[in-house]
Structure 1
């Protein structure tokens, strides 16, 4: 199927955007109907976690409101005016707290804590199940998977609703409400940011020995997924030696890269779902501004690719004279990938090598990745005279390789602490200019006012 047919089919296949604008219930205190399901066996609990796209959907609707404001795209004024979900409109212009929700609920917060509750139900329940040698592997997979899923959501929420990690203030900065029990009657306040990160890493380290090196399905967690998430977490903390260790551990188990020369940019779906780079499959929440007809890729980003870089034709598509994004690893152009993949692990390991002074290894990893992205015979290996020079190349490639995976926002938050990489985001809407300065408190989105009314401290913005 060629690209002209891609566009004509789009209106028929776009999924509805699920908005929780009418939701007024405090999710953290919501009680599930226990009559709906009474799991009692290992297979029952596995089935709860295998609910990939249902409700709560363990592999979909990952928090992505931050991607609305990360500056890698913009939309026309008319499209902005047509946006109906107040938090999306607010995230687009980095609105202040008072105007952010406009009476509409936080769908992402609700979805994430629904999955966390599901994980807690599994963890509490599986602890009561008797096991033997024959069922131990299945038992371990359930427990390790639940720990991973909970960690994945806590990490993703922390990148949106908590400050960027700073070791000097992490013990006093606000973290998340850390629900680790299925007992919804327990009152849970906000933890510190350090406690949030500590729980994430603790759970992941517990999960690693329980999970297989290769999962039965890409929607299930695995050892390389645990190591990959640990690498991402430690990168956010600026702990580059541990980020290196876990990116390396992940790549030792799964390191395959696609050769983009083998992809056909004229195919309806140039990049296959569950391709060999996918370590853990998950999809981001969908917003109206992500629509192919609305999303216009930032011109600076688009122009940063070389003419021989195949990502230009694989990632982007001309729609009515504007470049939109088409490079998802989900098997669908309108469903953005939010999982873990080997290309990200190469970039984390490369950056960690550079940060720890190993210039040669850093550049080798970068060249390994980029050589699979350029037209055969055109790529010339990059070189760097110093670790700092290598780091600059790597940071530039992170934006180009990992765009539209909701990784740009966490990168901006951590990199803005370094004057060399600071970026001021600017958007113009209906003649008015909005800007987001480096290290602005607006890099932390506000909590839903309903949660604040229930007793959670609001983020200072």
Structure 2
């Protein structure tokens, strides 16, 4: 009997081998594994859940440039206008066709298949945990925590999928009856049709709400989801749904206990999960290296890879021009690179507006061993500020924004703006603060804004595409051809 493509990849289960404080694993099809045994005890279940986190960072489809969620973070920013391939050497390089909005619109391309496979793998493994953890032998607190993590991981997978493959959520058009993605909520091998965008968001919110009742702030390390991260995910979801009150509420709760990093910490290279502001991330251990497929192999300034040497990432010059010289973030890119104020690998190029934000230890760095930020407290400040501004609470919004930006720029003065002007300022701060961390495509889509690269330093022969209007079908990833062929209930997105 022919397996359904969606379900085949949603039911890949993790076998784990412990290593130091985190887990390292291989993966095998669930059919060869007794899920009941894997979840027989909370100790076994913990290993299985660790395996789900590991599936965030493995290489998919044997493609070096598509190594898990960190690769998606880079790609989502390259789909926008702020993270730019810096030289013409990138014309045929990694992520060029993603930049051009070609890869995700071709149903046989790695880019249509990769996120579908990855996030359904996370979902499928979470489903196994949710279905079995209540029977695990062990302390109730451990069962609760593991189930909470599995629920949050499933919500995280669906939140990414529905934003990629569905139309944007529109709070003014509830219920959002446009097609989203199939909701697979239990281990199954049956082909499932697409649910509506509204139904998917309803399930995401349900999973996160339940996870919040099961989790606490306590956890072994930041590579795992705790209550603060769940609230951060709730804030992200509410922002996309234009639920401003909940976005503000959850963001404030999520960042409680986290301190914005100092100016000195800001210049440390964005590669250490112990940073006081990081809420959740990939804690990169030595035996988990993806080498030339890793996040920092594409998004650092000094790893000795072909990408970094010949076509490193640069910032949109128009965005950079809006960063005051007194702001520490102005040092994250070099407008006029010289040997003394930019770090590059041997033989590397120095294009204008060169990225220095992500930097690995050593000059050059011979290791891609850098941690990856999935969620930072700064994002929560920005969500809270934007939500308050959209609720017409200009005083509250400007105060939250001030509390963050003042740490970045000692000369920053609290804004007296309101309405659209204040919202625009907050969105500019968001673009500066979260550059390279995977938010720009989703931000453009959720705000129904156009892609506009005109007048920037984007290279015409590399980018090719400079404008995409809001509502264009290209804002939706196409369903991979293998899924269409295997699952007769699936409806393709407009081509």
Q: TM-score range by the shorter chain?
A: 0.7 to 0.9
Cα displacement (A) at 1:137: 0.9
Matches within 5 A, 1:74-85: 74-75=84-85, 76-83=87-94
Cα displacement (A) at 1:363: 0.9
Q: In the alignment, which of 230, 242, 256 is matched to residue 226 of structure 1?
A: 230
Which residue pairs with 1:138 in the alignment? 142
Q: In the alignment, which of 76, 82, 85 is matched to residue 72 of structure 1?
A: 82
Q: How many residues align?
A: 419
Q: Distance in 2 between matches of 1:144 and 1:186?
A: 26
CA offset digits 1:134-188 (Å, max 9, x no partner) = x1111110000000111111111222211111131653211111111122x2322
Contact 2:484–2:491, Cα closer than 8 Å, also in 1:
yes
Cα displacement (A) at 1:326: 3.9
Q: Distance in 1 between matches of 2:266 and 2:373?
A: 23
Q: Distance in 2 between matches of 1:424 and 1:148?
A: 34
Secondary structure at the counterpart of residue 274 of structure 2 = coil
Secondary structure at the counterpart of residue 354 of structure 2 = strand
**Cα gap change, 1:229 to 1:194, in 2 (>3 Å):** same
* Structure 1 position 372 matched with structure 2 position 401: no
5+ residue gaps in structure 2? 12-28, 60-66, 284-292, 300-306, 335-341, 362-366
Q: In the alignment, which of 147, 152, 155 is matched to residue 151 of structure 1?
A: 155
Q: Distance in 2 between matches of 1:301 and 1:44?
A: 48
Which residue pairs with 1:177 in the alignment? 182
**More displaced stretch, 199-208 vs 337-346:** 337-346
Cα displacement (A) at 1:299: 1.4
Q: In the alignment, which of 453, 456, 477 is matched to residue 445 of structure 1?
A: 477
Q: In the alignment, which of 321, 325, 337 is matched to residue 350 of structure 2?
A: 321
* Structure 1 position 405 matched with structure 2 position 402: no
Which residue pairs with 2:215 in the alignment? 211
Q: In the alignment, which of 1, 24, 28 is matched to residue 7 of structure 2?
A: 28
* Structure 1 position 241 matched with structure 2 position 241: no
TM-score by length of 2: 0.76
Which residue pairs with 2:272 in the alignment? 272
TM-score by length of 1: 0.81
Cα displacement (A) at 1:231: 0.6
Cα displacement (A) at 1:349: 0.6
Which residue pairs with 1:342 in the alignment? 377
Contact 2:382–2:426, Cα closer than 8 Å, also in 1:
yes
Which residue pairs with 1:305 in the alignment? 323
Q: Distance in 2 between matches of 1:366 and 1:105?
A: 37
* Structure 1 position 122 matched with structure 2 position 126: no
Q: Distance in 2 between matches of 1:449 and 1:334?
A: 35
Q: Distance in 2 between matches of 1:329 and 1:152?
A: 27
Q: Distance in 2 between matches of 1:113 and 1:330?
A: 31
Q: Distance in 2 between matches of 1:339 and 1:192?
A: 27
Secondary structure at the counterpart of residue 203 of structure 1 = helix
Which residue pairs with 1:192 in the alignment? 196
Q: Distance in 1 between matches of 2:148 and 2:163?
A: 23
Q: Distance in 1 between matches of 2:371 and 2:215?
A: 26
Contact 2:272–2:371, Cα closer than 8 Å, also in 1:
no
Secondary structure at the counterpart of residue 50 of structure 1 = helix
Contact 2:473–2:494, Cα closer than 8 Å, also in 1:
yes
Cα displacement (A) at 1:303: 2.1
Cα displacement (A) at 1:33: 3.8
**Cα gap change, 1:285 to 1:237, in 2 (>3 Å):** farther
Secondary structure at the counterpart of residue 404 of structure 2 = helix
**Cα gap change, 1:287 to 1:251, in 2 (>3 Å):** closer
Q: Distance in 1 between matches of 2:207 and 2:343?
A: 44
Matches within 5 A, 1:38-117: 38-39=37-38, 40-51=40-51, 54-55=54-55, 61-62=68-69, 63-64=72-73, 65-75=75-85, 76-83=87-94, 88-95=95-102, 99=106, 101-102=108-109, 106-117=113-124
CA offset digits 1:420-453 (Å, max 9, x no partner) = xx55245622695543223322111212111122
Aligned alpha-carbon RMSD (Å): 3.2
**Cα gap change, 1:298 to 1:187, in 2 (>3 Å):** same
**Cα gap change, 1:392 to 1:33, in 2 (>3 Å):** closer
